Amino acid sequence: MSSTVNERELILDILLENERGTFLNLIIRQVLDKYDYLPDHSRSFIKAVSEGTVERRITLDYFIDRVSSVKVKKMKPLVRQLMRMSLYQLMYMDSVPSSAVINEAVKLAKKRKFSNLSGFVNGVLRNLDRMDFDEIEGELSLSQRYSCPEWIVDMFTSEYGIEMAEKMLASSLERAPLTVRPVGITADELIEKLAEEGVAAAHHEVLGSAVVLPEGTVPGRLSSFVDGYCTVQDAASQLSVLVAAPEKGNVCIDLCAAPGGKAAYLAQLLNGTGHVSARDQSENKTELIEDTIERLGLENIDTLVWDARTLRDEDIESADIVFADLPCSGLGVLGRKSDVKYRVRPEDIEELAALQREILDTAVRYVKKGGTLIYSTCTVSPQENRDQFEYIKSLGLEPVDFDDCLPPQLKGRGEGQLQLLQGTFGCDGFFISKFRKA
């Protein structure tokens, strides 16, 4: 631990800010940027405990409620988050001594003006430390064991079966792989470059163009990233661009492009020809795309601040490829965004599906005759994927078999649509579909 910064106090503040509604990944990034002088082990500890505490919240609350006279929901926010983060360390971080966890929690309670509750904190944590978690685990429901709201567990189970649902839930508690795409060099050459920087990268298990970085790697600190030889992009996202199969001279529109990975890949595959219009609804988002464009040195792409629901008359039937990777519930990326599962509600699915259809009504009008529409999401809900596939068909577009674009492990699955599930093929949960306008 750093002698000048109390890492546990930073974690506590991160969790309190998250409870107030700020996205966890944004808070962690802000804190780590502010304290960028901290050693790697401290940064890793802050990130691991913050993410893990949120990720395992339902499980942690279950065990706290078993021994506490005051239920978690009734606790003061600071005490609640202090209990959760301390129990997370007791349950899931063997390298941290229990005595240190409990003593630091008591000190923090006193430091933050809760001296009157320091005895309560101490007593509850000591009782938890004596508990045999493994023995009790058999009593837990899937929701409690995998710390996932019951309605999501029910959706996964009814749609994909109990065995696959449990695999998906388990995957959501694992650290999602950090995958990058080589730019201007091969995957082998990128792995060699990274090795020279002391990073032991590896080929993705399915997608040959993707490279997986070791857990804890910070891309922004790598020369290979800063100099534009690679960019962060999940394998499933990369695959969706390969499915689009852009050809020399194509005109492409990416409707919801931030942070720019797919649009940049389209431009790269066009090899300096054609044009990509990368759009999003705010300047903050298009600035992210512009950062990617500049770092990668791409010239056949520009950005536009535009609401994807609004028809742009000059673009009607102008595009060879329209990419509609649309806002969704994010249930395929729970391993990357631990707080998504607590934010999204069942009614949000219907609202998102309605928004997606509104954007699709506009998107299809941009596709020229003989052109391609790619519809994709990073979720696994049928309303946002399979049902939207049928909706696009009702708009007069024809599904296109894209089996020839898939790696060997996925052959036989690309009959116009492909649903990837987290926990399989080393990818996020992701949906890809391809259509042609007759």
Q: Which residues are catalytic?
A: 378
Identify whether the C-beta of residue 356 lies closer than 8 Å to the C-beta of residue 321: no
* Helix residue spans in 20-139 (DSSP H): 24-34, 40-55, 57-67, 77-92, 98-111, 118-129, 133-137
Identify whether the C-beta of residue 222 lies closer than 8 Å to the C-beta of residue 197: yes
By C-alpha distance, which of 320, 342, 317, 318 is closest to 329? 342
Task: Give exposure, 232-244, as e/b (b: 16+ Cβ within 10 Å).
Answer: bbbbbbbbbbbbb
3-state secondary structure of 154: helix
Distance CA 305, CA 259 (A): 13
State both tokens at 156. 């996964």
Residues whose CB is less than 8 angstroms from the CB of residue 348 and which lie 6 or more positions away in sequence, other chains included: 329
Q: For residue 388, how far is the Cα from the chain centroid?
A: 21
State both tokens at 318. 């102008």
- Would strands 178-182 and 230-232 be described as parallel, antiparallel, or unpaired? antiparallel
Distance CA 237, CA 52 (A): 25
Distance CA 156, CA 150 (A): 10
By C-alpha distance, which of 438, 301, 436, 434 is closest to 376? 434
Distance CA 32, CA 42 (A): 10
DSSP conformation class of 403:
G
Residues whose CB is less than 8 angstroms from the CB of residue 141 and which lie 6 or more positions away in sequence, other chains included: 150, 153
Beta bridge partners of 437: 397
